[in-house]
Structure 1
Amino acid sequence: MATVLIPLPRQDFDPSEVAVPWQTLTGLGHRVLFATPDGGPASADELMLTGRGLDPWGRVPGLSRIVLVGRVLRANRDALTAYRAMERDAAFRAPLSWEQAGQDGFDGADGVDGLLLPGGHRARGMRAYLESELLQRLVVGAFQRDLPVGAICHGVLLAARSVDPATGRSVLHGRRTTALTWSLEGRAWSVARRTRFWDPDYYRTYREAPGQPAGYLSVQQEVTRALAGPADFLDVPAGAPHAARKSDGRHRDSVADDRPAFVVRDGRYVSARWPGDVHAFAAAFAELLAEGQR
C-alpha cells in the first residue's frame, strides 16, 4: 500500500479537507503521514469544528452555544466523526516537521508515494502554510517525480505558488484545475462579515489593496494567474447534471451521494473546490494511488 504525506499549518486547517481523506486512505490500508512547521500536533480551525462564533451573538456568554449560521458553515457530522478519529491517530499526534518532510524538494520524505494538500481559510494559521518556501519546494519535488498530487480549496493555492526552477513557472502551468471559486469564497465572506461583524474578514485569507478589483486576491483569481490560460481554471459547467446542487454552497457530498461534488483530474493531479467536494476528492485521489500501485 502507498504512503501519503499531508502537510498542515500549525493551526486553522479545514477539518473536513484533512480528516475525510485521512479516513478514506487509511480505510483502504494506506499509510498517512503528517507534517507541521515544528513537528508539533496541528489543530483545526475551531470555528469549523464547533460553528460557535459565526452567529451575531457568538461573543455573548451563554448564547454562543446556540449555533444557527455556524451549523451550516461548519464541518458536517461525517467530517466531525472522521476528525475525532484522526485526533487519536499516532501519525497525526506525532507529525514530521516541514523541514524533515522536504529538506531538498521531495527527497526528504523518504518512501512517500503521494502528496495531498488540504486547505483552510483563516489567515491566522493559513498564511504561513501558503507562503512556506519549504512546502513549495516539496510540492515542486512531487510534481517533478510525477507522484499523485491532490489539492483542495486553498491547497490549490499552495500548488499554484510552487514554481519549478527548471521552467520558472508554477507546477500548475499547462494543467487544468479547480480550486475554491470566487463565487463560493465571496458568498461565505458576505455572510460571515455580517454575522461575525467583529471579525468581518474571517473568510478572506488575503484582502485586496486599495485600487485592486473585488476578488483580485481570491483563490480563484490568484490560481488562474498561475495557469497557462484562464480556460484552464474549471468550474461547474452551465447545464451540467446537478449544476445547482454543485454550486449553491449548501449541499455537500457524502460517500453515498457524489452529486454535489465537482472534482477535476489532469494526469496524476486531482483538485477540488471546498469541503462539499471532499468525499469525491478523496476517492479520486485514492484511485490515483491505486493506478500507481498496479
Structure 2
Amino acid sequence: MARILIPLPRRDFDPSEVAVSWRTLHRDGHGVVFATPDGMPAEADELMLSGVGLDPWGWLPGLKRLRVVGLLLRANADARRAHTALLQDAAFRAPMRWDALEAAAFDGLLLPGGHRARGMREYLESPTLQALVAAFFAADKPVAAICHGVLLAARSRAANGQSVLHGRRTTALTWALERRAWVTARISRFWDPHYYRTYRESPDQPDGYLSVQQEVSRALAAPDDFLDVPRDAPDYRRKTNGLARDSDADAAPAFVVRDGNYLSARWPGDVHRFAREFSALFAAAASPGITSPPRSAAPAGSAGDGSAGR
C-alpha cells in the first residue's frame, strides 16, 4: 500500500478532482494524506458543488436556486457523492500543515486543481509547495497533476533552476477548455465575469497569455511537449467538447499523458481515468520485474485511446 499526499488550498479546490481521486486511491488500498496551509480542513469551491450562482439570475435571492447553466457546469452526481464521502474521511478532517511536509515521508504526490482565484492563488504561488513538488521529482517518485495542479508543477524549480517539467511531456487545462468556460461565465455570471480565470492578462498581453496551457508551455523544453487530443483520435468530440466527462465505466472522454513516473490530465472530465492510472503506477512498482518506462521510451499508449507517454 502506498502513502500518497494530496495538498489542498484553504478553499476553492475542485471537488471532482479531489474526491474522485481520493475515492479511487482509497478503494485500491492506498493511504491518502491531506495537507493545507494551516492544518484545518479545506473547503471545496461551493459553486462547483451546487451550481447556484452560475446562471444569469443567480444573484437574485428568489431565483438563484433555479439552475440551468449551473447544472451543466457543476460537479456531476458521481463526484458530488464522492465529495460527501470525503467529508467524513478522518485524514481529510485532520490534514497536515504544508510546512510540516517532507517528500521522504510519502510514496507519491497528487496535485489537484481548481480555478477560483480567491482560493487557488495561495496554493499555486506557495514556495513551500513548489519546493515540495521539486523534491518529489528529484526523487523520481510518482507525481500526478490535473488541471491547475499542472501549473503548480510547472512553477516548481529543479536544482538547475529549470521547471521540473522541462524535458517532460504533459497536458493540462487547455486554453480551448478554459476559454470556453470563461466565455460562458461572462454571460451567465455577468456580475462576476472572470470567475473561471485564475489569472487575467494585462492590456499589453495577448488573449490566453496567462492561461494554464500557455504558462505551462513556456516552462517546457519545447512547445510540442504540451499535448492535447489529436484531431484524428477516436471520440475526439467527446474528449474536447467540455461537456462529456469520463466515469468508472466509460473512459472514452478522458485524455491523460504519462511520462515516466509523471502523469497529467486536463480537467475534471478526465479524473476517473487519471486516478486509476495513477493508482496503477504503484501497483506496477510493487510487482517483481516491473519498472517505470524510461522517459526516452516510445509512447506507452496511443493518442487514440487518450494516453501518451515516454
1:50-129 aligned within 5 A = 50-102=50-102, 106-107=103-104, 110=105, 112-129=106-123
Where does residue 16 of structure 1 map in the other structure?
A: 16
What secondary structure does 1:170 align onto? coil
Q: 2-side partners of 1:137 and 1:21: how far apart?
A: 23
Where does residue 172 of structure 1 map in the other structure?
A: 165
For residues 58-110 of structure 1, the C-alpha deviation after alignment (integer angstroms, 9 at most, x for no partner) is 111121111110111100000000000000000000000000114xxx24xx2
For the pair 1:190 / 2:183, whether they are aligned, the reply is: yes
Q: 2-side partners of 1:239 and 1:18: how far apart?
A: 31
Where does residue 148 of structure 2 map in the other structure?
A: 154
Q: 1-side partners of 2:75 and 2:143: how far apart?
A: 24
Where does residue 285 of structure 1 map in the other structure?
A: 278
Where does residue 40 of structure 2 map in the other structure?
A: 40
Moved over 4 A (4+): none
Which amino acid in 2 is paired with 1:179?
Answer: A
More off after superposition, 58-67 vs 218-227: 58-67
Q: 2-side partners of 1:163 and 1:191: how far apart?
A: 34
Where does residue 215 of structure 1 map in the other structure?
A: 208
Q: 2-side partners of 1:29 and 1:64: how far apart?
A: 41
What secondary structure does 1:35 align onto? strand
Decide whether the 8 Å contact of 1:2 with 1:293 is kept in 2: no
Which amino acid in 2 is paired with 1:56?
Answer: P
| Deviation of the 1:210 alpha carbon | 1.1
Q: 2-side partners of 1:35 and 1:59: how far apart?
A: 33
Q: 2-side partners of 1:275 and 1:140: how far apart?
A: 24
For the pair 1:49 / 2:45, whether they are aligned, the reply is: no
Which amino acid in 1 is paired with 2:219?
Answer: A
| Deviation of the 1:292 alpha carbon | 2.1
Which amino acid in 2 is paired with 1:141?
Answer: A
Total equivalences in the alignment:
287
For residues 210-240 of structure 1, the C-alpha deviation after alignment (integer angstroms, 9 at most, x for no partner) is 1100000000000000000100000000110
Where does residue 157 of structure 2 map in the other structure?
A: 163
What secondary structure does 1:91 align onto? helix
Which amino acid in 2 is paired with 1:48?
Answer: M
What secondary structure does 2:99 align onto? helix
Where does residue 130 of structure 1 map in the other structure?
A: 124
Where does residue 202 of structure 1 map in the other structure?
A: 195
| Deviation of the 1:293 alpha carbon | 2.1
Q: 1-side partners of 2:283 and 2:149: how far apart?
A: 22
| Deviation of the 1:46 alpha carbon | 0.2
Q: 1-side partners of 2:153 and 2:7: how far apart?
A: 12
What secondary structure does 2:12 align onto? strand
Where does residue 249 of structure 1 map in the other structure?
A: 242
Q: 1-side partners of 2:286 and 2:12: how far apart?
A: 33
| Deviation of the 1:290 alpha carbon | 1.2
What secondary structure does 2:4 align onto? strand
Where does residue 233 of structure 1 map in the other structure?
A: 226
Decide whether the 8 Å contact of 1:19 with 1:86 is kept in 2: yes
What secondary structure does 1:206 align onto? coil
Where does residue 308 of structure 2 map in the other structure?
A: none
What secondary structure does 1:225 align onto? helix
Root-mean-square deviation over aligned CA pairs? 0.6
Q: 1-side partners of 2:254 and 2:94: how far apart?
A: 32
Decide whether the 8 Å contact of 1:142 with 1:149 is kept in 2: yes
For residues 5-33 of structure 1, the C-alpha deviation after alignment (integer angstroms, 9 at most, x for no partner) is 00000000000000001000000111000
Q: 2-side partners of 1:267 and 1:21: how far apart?
A: 20
